[in-house]
Structure 1
């Protein structure tokens, strides 16, 4: 019994790590925020919410797999790489298997997208195609977006503004300005996931010819950038409450500020990637906890409105 269960458990762990589950909240939270905002404005369709959520998770998981595949192809991953990636070099998963699985996820997401379009608008097909193309080009293609100074901007825009906007639109048929404003803090913290990742991998990225924002800014300035953008994200929430754009209950998201502080502090004075892993984890936790608290605050505000 033990000899059979261990390989199964090992295979599951490999597959689970391949999805990079700690990053998937960057899809769950924007879809939920957009849908809850639609609910607050009097429109919500459970089937569309679930289809959008699953499709977004699949596209992000596929993006992670493309990242795994192309990092291997370009020689960026090795047995000593820090992080959850490395299923090819550490776990012996065939590169073609990862690529095919990513394409399968894209295929399923496309089918879900057809349902979403049928129930809402066929304009979503164009936007969804652009999103999937951007997801592929993020680490695929001749000049991967993730290897340029625009990685944070593209990741934050598509996974924050665009996903929240689409998630609202499929329920309501419109995207008012306040939805795009509310999307900005989440867009920022999603983009900062890449900043934290690139601070950790700075030396390796330099050696492999990447031109990320972190490389252009330098480590010290990148840490300042990380802290400044966290500050802006939280300040926007306070400003939105003061202006009456969102419920005062969303101020509970400020509880996550200590996590952001630990993320920034965790990079200071560290030189080895393994030493900076806790800081990256705190960055991911900040995005997750802040997002969940915004969702809870919006729901409480809706209930008591």
Structure 2
């Protein structure tokens, strides 16, 4: 394997389309903090890197345990299954995951020393959630609760931490603004589970996509998108935020494309573009929301 191919394999192991779920919430929480304090750049960068590392570790744990449980094979579609396709040592994957966690912990120690040591408890719980998503005797990924857990930790919790380390506070607005992002983080998992529904069912998983069936899961995904947009619109109508947040509506076409990409599709290959569009929607929606919050702060 040449050097370029080797780097490509390791890039795939990180599952880059999921990394949006780690950095977008940090951007949103930090942008919201602009209305209260000047941003402390070292804390922002430490939080951003720690969040990305935890997501990378989660993806590596996922790769390792999917291999151990026989879910991945050489014909697996998507960027998972790198161990069986490229001969990467499973122990190497696990070691890298642990290394990512260790570095995230060190960054967390720095953040806690500058803010509050109570964040250490939350950080440990976040890392544990990443591990138990596919690790342990009862993996969360095998249940209908995967989307909710992912949205809670990678959406609501990360936004609150990013906001707290800049302001030393949690507010009603910081919680309210985290809801649509939490939903869209969960949507990334829903899209992945829609694509993998048949294979997951054969391997004993009971994901929400399996319980709802293909059409029901696609409708549920569409509902997640709709609620996210309506939530932001409601926040503006209620006067809690300025109309700058309506910039998120520029991402609607991506949401429509994701739903249409799943509708009537049945094979994994056919649904790959729709899954990618869902991750892109999370990125675009989140970045537009962060821009809207930044403009809101500047206007005030």
The yes-or-no answer on 1:218 pairing with 2:202 is no
Q: Of the candidates 141, 148, 159, which is equivalent to residue 143 of structure 2? A: 148
Q: How far has the Cα of 1:302 moved from its partner?
A: 2.0
Divergent runs of 4+, >4 A: none
What CA RMSD, in Å, does the superposition of the two structures yield over aligned residues? 1.0
Q: How far has the Cα of 1:17 moved from its partner?
A: 1.0
What is the CA–CA distance in structure 1 between the aligned matches of 2:30 and 2:264, rounded to whole Å? 41
For 2:18, the equivalent position in structure 1 comes to 23
For 2:104, the equivalent position in structure 1 comes to 109
Question: Are the counterparts in 1 of residues 27 and 290 from structure 2 also a CA contact under 8 Å?
Answer: yes
What is the CA–CA distance in structure 2 between the aligned matches of 1:7 and 1:163, rounded to whole Å? 38
Using the size of structure 2 for normalisation, the TM-score is 0.98
For 1:278, the equivalent position in structure 2 comes to 273
Using the size of structure 1 for normalisation, the TM-score is 0.96
Q: How far has the Cα of 1:43 moved from its partner?
A: 4.3
What is the CA–CA distance in structure 1 between the aligned matches of 2:112 and 2:239, rounded to whole Å? 33
Q: Structure 2: give runs of 5+ residues left out of the alignment.
A: none
Question: Are the counterparts in 1 of residues 37 and 166 from structure 2 also a CA contact under 8 Å?
Answer: no
Say which SS state the counterpart of residue 82 (structure 2) adopts: coil
For 2:51, the equivalent position in structure 1 comes to 56
Q: How far has the Cα of 1:247 moved from its partner?
A: 2.5
Q: How does 1:206-285 map to 2 (within 5 A)?
A: 206-285=201-280
Q: Of the candidates 275, 281, 288, which is equivalent to residue 283 of structure 2? A: 288
Q: Of the candidates 58, 65, 82, which is equivalent to residue 60 of structure 2? A: 65
Q: Structure 1: give runs of 5+ residues left out of the alignment.
A: 1-5
Q: Report Cα offsets for 1:192-239 as digits up to 9, x if no partner.
A: 111111111010001000010111111111111011111000000101
Number of residue-to-residue matches in the alignment = 300
For 1:83, the equivalent position in structure 2 comes to 78
Question: Are the counterparts in 1 of residues 34 and 294 from structure 2 also a CA contact under 8 Å?
Answer: no
What is the CA–CA distance in structure 2 between the aligned matches of 1:28 and 1:246, rounded to whole Å? 22
Q: Report Cα offsets for 1:74-111 as digits up to 9, x if no partner.
A: 00011111111121011111000000000000000000
What is the CA–CA distance in structure 1 between the aligned matches of 2:96 and 2:13, rounded to whole Å? 10
The yes-or-no answer on 1:180 pairing with 2:175 is yes
What is the CA–CA distance in structure 2 between the aligned matches of 1:160 and 1:76, rounded to whole Å? 27
Q: How does 1:157-176 map to 2 (within 5 A)?
A: 157-176=152-171
Higher RCO (CA < 8 A, seq sep 6+): 2
